[in-house]
Amino acid sequence: MLLPDYYEFCCRVKLIAGHDALEKIPELLAAKGARKPLIITDKGVAGAGLVDIVSRAAGKLDPNLVNDSVPPDSDLKVVHELAKLYQENACDALIAVGGGSVMDTAKGVNIVVSENATDLMAFSGVGALKRPLKPLVAVPTTAGTGSEVTQVAVIKDHDKHLKMAFGSYFLLPDIAILDSRMTLTMPPFITAMTGMDAMSHAVEACYCLQKNPLSDAHALAAVSLLYAYLPQAVNNPSDRDARLSMAIGACLAGMAFSNSMVGLVHNLGHATGSVCGVPHGLCMAILLPYGLEYNLHKREEAIAGLLLSMAGPHIYKETPEEQRAQKVISLIRKLNDDLHAKTGGRHARSLSEVKDRDGKPAVPREALPQIAQAALLDGASVYNPEETDYEDNLMVLEAAWEGKPLDRAKVKKG
Ligand SMILES: NC(=O)c1ccc[n+]([C@@H]2O[C@H](COP(=O)([O-])OP(=O)(O)OC[C@H]3O[C@@H](n4cnc5c(N)ncnc54)[C@H](O)[C@@H]3O)[C@@H](O)[C@H]2O)c1
Ligand SMILES: [Fe+2]
């Protein structure tokens, strides 16, 4: 593999991991000079008793400064409300206890309170922040987004049906705490889809345009852990070692993609989530094989290399070189099939299989043109190895809707 002429890699997050890592919180806050943190969470996480565990471990957290109003995919208005709460109570740090929706909300709140801003949108896009923010402690409760170590926040404007991205090294949390107690309560369906989000970060990191030797090292280590432990965590939710391994795999995948960026899978996935409200992880699981197929001719060697991390040296050696990349795609599809079976069908394998809360199809075929159009506005397309336009987006979405492999002969080679 040729080394890139230039690349950057940054992950200045203090990482604490273990079966009882949360007990470190008082010491960590004191080191940051913080006395009055605002704890941000959502109702699912609070209802699972996870904030109580954090509060007990942390000793003196003020129960009046716990807010559980974060909705799925975060929300612009909620960010502004929480920023007001922070300011009215003269808080001096943020603790995010939750999945990507909560951690990204906390990042948004941190922008508003640190910049003393009235509109978060003034900071959207990449590079708008110019100075450090307030101390942020991220406690992930899903093993998925890796937001605890990424320079990215994704926040939805529910009124406009748009997901907005924010990117800056200043968005990296100061501290990330990976504690196995935080993911033990995740039901199999959420474990499966958030785990496939992490897998999509690691895999896209391996083929996207900003990939480099450091992002590769993190991504390949992530693929090994996630591929080995995701089925175990779904089969046996109380397996603490599998949970911690998943948390570390998701974190490594976050470090990888935060530096190499993501591509088509996230590009189309963000648009599907915005237009049809499909959870991010489920979009990633469904679209991942298509991202691999679409980019195969540009990144065959990198994709083939994933086989070693997934299946080990014996299968890698036994598989003829020209079949290794295809074998990776088959193993990802097989993993999705297994997760489908283990979650009573909730882990959908095609866009047409996804159901909304009332059990009705969540992605009508007629919505595909709107999704293909919305994807044109998403920054992730910039880092995909092969170019994409509206027709390409629609072609991939059609295949993913039907659940059929992509007709690679139709991919325009740029
Ligand atoms: N910032 C980044 O780098 C980045 C990367 C990928 C995705 N994202 C964003 O993250 C969001 C998705 O985050 P997510 O996939 O972690 O899901 P989520 O935060 O939306 O949580 C999903 C559901 O799981 C519940 N839950 C979470 N942890 C639980 C636990 N331990 N036990 C029981 N229930 C639990 C929550 O209450 C919620 O109902 C999307 O908006 C996506 O765009 C951000
Ligand atoms: Fe993701």
What is the best residue among 43, 104, 181 to mutate for testing ligand 1's pocket, by most ligand atoms within 8 Å of CB?
104
**Residue 33: strand, helix, or coil:** coil
Residue 363 and residue 255 in contact, taking contact as beta carbons nearer than 8 Å: no
Pairing outcome for strands 152-157 and 162-167: antiparallel
* Distance of CA 243 from the midpoint of ligand 2 (Å): 19
Say what percent of the chain tops pLDDT 70. 100
Question: For residue 273, which atom of ligand 1 is closest to its CA?
Answer: 43
Let me know: does 151 contact 168? Beta carbons within 8 Å. yes
For the CA of 42, the closest atom of ligand 1 is 37
- 16 Cβ closer than 6 Å to some ligand 1 atom: no
Ligand nearest to the CA of 104: 1
Residue 161 pLDDT: 79
Name the fold adopted by 188-410: Dehydroquinate synthase-like, alpha domain (1.20.1090)
pLDDT digits (tens, 9 = 90+) for 323-339: 999 999 999 999 999 99
Q: Which tens digits make up the pLDDT trace of 342-391? A: 999 999 999 999 999 899 999 999 999 999 999 999 888 999 999 999 99
Res. 2: pLDDT tops 80: no
Which tokens sit at 178? 């990976």
Rounded to whole angstroms, the Cα distance separating 185 from 237 reads: 7
98 Cβ below 6 A of ligand 1: yes
- Residue that is written with structure tokens 């003034």 in the block: 122
Stated pTM of the model: 0.97
Contacts of 402 (CB under 8 A, 6+ apart): 350, 352
Structure tokens at 253: 């995948």
Q: What is the pLDDT of the chain when averaged over all its residues?
A: 96
Residue-wise over 53-73: b if at least 16 C-beta within 10 A, else e?
A: bbbebbeebeeebbbbebebb
Architecture of domain 14-182: 3-Layer(aba) Sandwich (3.40)
Q: What is the pLDDT of residue 29?
A: 95
Q: Is 100 in the pocket of ligand 1 (CB under 6 A)?
A: yes
Ligand closest in space to the Cα of 202: 2
Say if ligand 1 is within 6 A of residue 183 CB: yes
Whether 82 has a pLDDT exceeding 80, the answer reads yes
122-161 pLDDT, tens per residue?
999 999 999 999 999 999 999 999 999 999 999 998 888 7
Is the Cβ atom of 343 under 6 angstroms away from ligand 1?
no
Q: Name, in order, each residue with C-beta under 8 angstroms of 106's C-beta and a sequence gap of 6 or more.
A: 40, 94, 95, 96, 136, 138
Which of 24-33, 52-61, 77-86, 404-413 has the weakest average pLDDT?
Answer: 52-61
Q: Is 145 in the pocket of ligand 1 (CB under 6 A)?
A: yes
Amino acid at 68: D
Dist. CA 180–CA 182, nearest whole Å: 5
For the chain, how far is it from start to end, CA to CA, in angstroms? 21
Q: How far apart are CA 181 and CA 33, in angstroms?
A: 27
Q: How far is the CA of 317 from the centre of ligand 1 (A)?
A: 37
Which residues have a Cβ under 8 Å from the Cβ of 159 and sit 6 or more positions away? none
226 contacts 401 by C-beta, under 8 angstroms = no
- 259-282 pLDDT per residue, tens: 999 999 999 999 999 999 999 999
CA distance 229 to 241: 9
Instruction: Find how far residue 162's CA is from the centre of its chain.
Output: 17
What is the number of alpha carbons within 13 Å of residue 364 lying toward its C-beta?
A: 4
Helices assigned H by DSSP within 59-167: 76-88, 100-115
CB 173 near ligand 1, within 6 Å: no
Percentage of the residues of the chain whose pLDDT score is greater than 90: 93
Mean pLDDT of 82-97: 98
Range with the poorest average pLDDT among 88-92, 109-113, 153-157, 181-185: 153-157
Q: Any idea where the domains of the chain sit in the sequence?
A: 14-182, 188-410
- DSSP letters along 258-278, please? HHH---HHHHHHHHHHHHH--
Q: Is the pLDDT of residue 61 over 90?
A: no
Q: Measured from the CB, is residue 259 less than 6 Å from ligand 1?
A: no
pLDDT at 118: 95
The DSSP H or E segment spanning 195 is helix 188-207
Using 50, 70 and 90 to split pLDDT, how confident is the model at 1?
low
pLDDT of residue 325: 98
Average pLDDT over residues 224-230: 98
Query: Distance between CA 319 and CA 329 in Å, rounded?
Result: 13
